Amino acid sequence: MGGLGTVRVLREFEDAGLSTIQITMPIFKGLCAYLSTLIDHGWDISEGDFDLFIFWYPEFIRLKTAGRHLDLLYHEWFYNHRAARGPGPRMILDRLVLNQIKIENPYTFLYTEACITAIAQTSSELPARPVPKACQTQIPPNTEAKALPAVPRMRSLDELCLSALEQPWYSEKGVRDYIGVRDKQELLCWLRQD
């Protein structure tokens, strides 16, 4: 479950007309992580459209499951859809609220960023961030240095989003296992290397 701030923000969305059947807590946290990571990678979106990014996701999924062959990733579909409808009012989400949700759900955000960064390395859509290398402090005596394993690639950001949303990372161990580091020290070292 998300922190109290995350729960409060989701309730604000529910009060504004977003059904919990359409957006569960894990999906909400994943969408916030998806949006935050896209912004960190330089995706151009105004704060006034943050709420729409959450509100329109169920419509995108409905169109995909209804057999519409959407070849666009969610953020591409959103950008095209938003351009057709014009700007939306800013109601709930802004950068500060998004950062608070990130603080309360660090592993969901870390997992989502790692996956999107891996996808960005093979795509011209997002600027790629460097893949972290092993720290010198990680070298056991009498062994060679090894780079940390690369994050597995997924087919699309939508699959990433659904995967991250279905199984959010609530534990440091889950993130460490996914990234392939042995302990907290290696995880902190991996995170510092951007």
> Of 48-62, 86-100, 116-130, 140-154, which range is least confident?
140-154
> Of 119-128, 148-157, 185-194, which range is least confident?
148-157
pLDDT at 35: 94
pLDDT digits (tens, 9 = 90+) for 47-61: 888 998 998 888 888
Mean pLDDT across the chain:
72
pLDDT at 76: 86
| Domain range list for the chain | 4-85, 106-192
pLDDT at 175: 64
> Of 72-81, 82-91, 92-101, 150-159, which range is least confident?
150-159
CB neighbour class for 114 (10 Å; exposed up to 12, middle 13-18, buried from 19): buried
- The count of other CB atoms within 10 Å of the CB of residue 18 is 20
**173-183: average pLDDT:** 67
**97-102: average pLDDT:** 95
Give just the sign of the alpha carbon dihedral 98, 100, 104, 110.
positive
Residue 86 is encoded by which pair of tokens?
């014009």
Q: What's the pTM?
A: 0.62
Residue 192 binned pLDDT confidence (cut-offs 50, 70, 90): low
pLDDT at 74: 86
The conformational region for residue 180 under phi > 0 = left, psi -120 to 50 = alpha, else beta, is left
- CA 74/CA 33 separation, integer angstroms: 13
pLDDT at 140: 45
Q: Rounded to whole angstroms, what are the CA distances from 118 to 115, 124, 141?
A: 5, 12, 31
Answer whether 119's CB lies under 8 Å from 160's CB: yes
pLDDT higher than threshold 60 for residue 41 = yes
Q: For the residues of 125-154, what is the DSSP string, one character each?
A: SSPPPPPP---GGG--TTS---PPPPPPP-
Quote the DSSP letter at residue 44. -
The residue assigned the tokens 């990014």 is: 53
- CA 31/CA 112 separation, integer angstroms: 9
